[in-house]
């Protein structure tokens, strides 16, 4: 593996370095290969947190003008 940042390739389901596949097929960057290997879990947790963020909840009732 290369030094620097790591990515998870969604096309090949592998961890790769900066010289890997095109950006549209990757998740990251991550600081370690281990972290990149958990890219789907990290993305799911971030999505869950964003969906439940009260500052960005589109389903919340909007104030009446």
Please write the tens of the pLDDT for every residue from 5-60.
999 999 999 999 999 999 999 999 999 999 999 999 999 999 998 888 888 766 65
- Answer whether residue 2 shows pLDDT above 50: no
Q: Supply the pLDDT for residue 1.
A: 47
Phi then psi dihedrals of residue 56, to 5 deg: -130, 25
Contact (CB, 8 A) for 21 and 28 = no
In angstroms, the CA 38 to CA 20 distance is 17
| pTM reported for the whole predicted model | 0.73
- Answer whether residue 62 shows pLDDT above 80: no
Q: Supply the pLDDT for residue 56.
A: 74
Dihedral sign computed on CA atoms, order 17, 27, 50, 61: positive
């Amino acid at each position: 593996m290369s030094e620097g940042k790591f990515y998870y390739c969604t096309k090949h389901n592998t961890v790769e370095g900066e010289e890997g596949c095109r950006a549209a097929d990757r998740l990251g960057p991550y600081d370690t290969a281990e972290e990149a290997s958990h890219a789907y879990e990290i993305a799911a947790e971030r999505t869950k947190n964003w969906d439940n963020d009260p500052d960005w909840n589109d389903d919340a009732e909007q104030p009446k003008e």
